[in-house]
Chain A
Amino acid sequence: MRIRGDILRTYQSIHTWTGIISGLVLFIGFYAGSLTMFKTEIEYWATPPSMHLSSIPIEKFDRLIVQATSTFDKAQHGFTLNFNQKLSPMTWYQQGGGRSIHLDSTINHATLSADGELMTQLSPTNELGELIDMLHRTAGIAGKVGHEDIGVLILGIAAVLYFLALVSGVIFLLPTLVKSFFALRTNKGVNRFWLDSHNLVGIISLPFHLIIAWTVVVFAFHDIFYGGLSIIYGDKPLFEPSKKSAIEYHVKQLPPISSYIKQVNELTDGYKIDALKFSGLSSVRPMVAISIINPKEMMRSNTGDIIYMNPYTFSVQYNSASADKNDNYTPIVVSFFSLHFGSYGGNLGRWLYFVMGLLGAFIFYSGNLLWLEKRRKKQPEQSKSNRFMASLTIGICLGSILGVVSTMLSSKWLYLANMPFNKSFIICYYTVFFTALLYSFTRGAARAAIHLQQLVALACLAIPMTSLLAKLIPNLALWNSSSSSDLIIDMTAFIFSGVFFYSAQKTRQRAYEGESNSIWTLPFERIEVTAEPNL
């Protein structure tokens, strides 16, 4: 395909500059986003099994509710019922709660013993999953303006640049696309290989990336977009105000749990309840959020679809799995969410999103490396700005990964040491991240790239080793888990340990044996072993 040279150059500039500005925060957003595909599993993996109380048959839920609400005042206002048998049947927050990190949230778990006695346990929540989710949404940038996270807004702006980078990248690739699409030239030097893989990954996952860019812009700026729409709508309200019920109900009037199952069966096709989240039970605005799952459907998010209704009257406020044929817009909007969260296609879909998220992170990383290569000088000493960008890229990307892996590794040991783990998670992540960044700037990108990758490999290896230790030395009081999802997390960490080890070796090779006029080169340091002169 022929495109005018001036158009190509215009879009090449756009691609370069939007990419280099937004790449680093998007890198964190992407790899952390990959991990959030398994947020529930990671949280479960990081929590000792003893924290979860044993499940009970659904028929006994009514009895559990009566007993818990009559004993605990907090439970009268709201609680969660988990149909998932791995989790405690009933929980309610003693303190804190809600999305975003709450370092000192405590949660009550409740179940019934075999002879029908109420059993409860108060424990702090494990916020490891929330930490990863926070990194995914804000790239770890703290602070708020009004009720918006600054990090979310920054990622929103980055997503606008990312959209520009995607389209402009495709435009200036078009002339050579057909010829070199699947070309992965290894014989034309390291840089050609990086460029080919950057382009290949970018083109094959383009639809995914366009969707992510679009949805991130919407997630970050939906309040602003609604603000504009309210002018267009004029006197029409955008949303119907939530109905205030005329009477104040009490939890004693709560209908039996079987009636919710009946409601869900009537409202949807083939869905099963995963959890019931009651709130405001003793107020004029009572609400139950019913999480429902049907792996065959395109569900709103990774926790499934959701129905909001009044728990006493069953009047539905919102149903994302509506089977109503006249409701044209709900399925479309739900599919937008679903395309971001990868909540279609079951477990295979989740793994695909996991891989595509990591490939996305690879695109940003390789893009930065290509930028550095382009500005390379044919001399051993590279320009100051180039060295700065190289250190920043290595420090932020590898430092952030090292931070998350170290935090995951720390979780079991923190329980063992009886430390306040949620605070320690935050301290651990940011300490590791900033130390790595500092290391990258003081010791140079070439050296930091090797050492940080080796450290990530080591930390990844230590994760399954910790679990193995728990199996071999039960006296250590580390927990021994037999859950299959826990095993998969350990295995995945082991595989990534190998990947980072291999890639550290490659980087090392390049530093010592690659082109000497490069930012990645290291002066020859190895000491030659010479034969002792004969005396």
Chain B
Amino acid sequence: MTRLSALEKIQPHWWLKTSAGLILGLTLSYALIGTFAWYGPGGIDAAVKVQFNMWMISPIWLTILTFSYLFKTGLKAIIYLGSANIIAYAIFFFLRWY
């Protein structure tokens, strides 16, 4: 393995990455769970499904948070997670209102 230069290495940027993972990670998991809630098995009215949906938010959120530190910089974390949010919500709103 070749040695990475200082700029190629992962930058710490703890606060930015943590905030991105916490906030954008949470909104992203809501978008995914929301799509599942309306269009996943059983639809929106299936019994007890609301509990299942609530349970599944945190594992998705925590997984995104944990791997947010792999982004090279804090800015990249925000850009990538932000774009993922825009795509996920676009799909969700498209399905909901068209």
Q: Hey, which bits of chain A sit against chain B, CB under 8 A?
A: 2, 4-7, 10-11, 13-14, 160, 163-164, 167-168, 213-214, 217-218, 221-222, 225-226, 228-229, 232-233, 236, 238-239, 327-330, 332-333, 336
Contacts and interface: CB of A to CB of B under 8 A. Distances in A.
Given A233-B44, A330-B47, A11 B69 contact: yes
A232 B59 CA distance: 18
B78 to A, nearest CB: 17
7 contacts: A4-B1, A6-B10, A14-B69, A214-B59, A229-B50, A236-B45, A239-B50
Given A164-B66, A229-B33, A333 B57 contact: no
A329 B37 contact: no
Taking chain A's interface residues, is the majority helix, strand, or loop, or is none over half, making it mixed?
helix
Nearest to B3: A5
Interface string B25-68: 01000100110010001101111111111110111001101100
Contact of A225 (B1, B48, B58): B58
Taking chain B's interface residues, is the majority helix, strand, or loop, or is none over half, making it mixed?
helix
A239 B51 CA distance: 9
A168 to B, nearest CB: 7
Nearest to B44: A236
Contact of B4 (A6, A236, A330): A6
Contacts of B33: 229, 232
Contacts of A218: 54-55, 58
Contacts of A6: 4, 9-10
B69 A10 contact: yes
B59 A228 contact: no
Given A10-B12, A167-B66, A218-B54, A329 B59 contact: no
A229 B42 contact: no
Contact of A229 (B1, B41, B48, B54): B54
B89 to A, nearest CB: 11
Interface of B: 1, 4, 9-10, 12, 26, 30, 33-34, 37, 41-42, 44-55, 57-59, 62-63, 65-66, 69-70
Given A2-B1, A217-B58, A222-B54, A329 B47 contact: yes
Contacts of B63: 167
A13 B10 CA distance: 13
Given A218-B54, A229-B33, A163 B48 contact: no
B70 A225 contact: no
Contacts of B54: 218, 222, 225-226, 229
B70 A7 contact: yes
A75 B70 CA distance: 61
A221 B57 CA distance: 11
Contact of A329 (B12, B48, B58): B48
B62 A168 contact: no
Contacts of B65: 160, 164
Given A160-B62, A214-B59, A221-B58, A329 B10 contact: no
A6 B33 CA distance: 33
Nearest to B57: A225
Contacts of B34: 229, 232
Contacts of A239: 50
B63 to A, nearest CB: 8
A330 B66 contact: no
B66 A163 contact: yes
A333 B51 contact: yes
A218 B49 CA distance: 15
Given A10-B69, A221-B58, A333 B1 contact: no
Given A10-B12, A328-B41, A329-B47, A168 B66 contact: yes
B11 to A, nearest CB: 9
Contact of A233 (B4, B37, B70): B37
Nearest to B10: A6
B57 A228 contact: yes
A167 to B, nearest CB: 5
A230 to B, nearest CB: 9
A327 B62 CA distance: 28
Contacts of A238: 50
Q: Which among B30, B33, B53, B63 has the highest number of chain A CB atoms within 10 Å?
A: B53
Contacts of A167: 63, 66
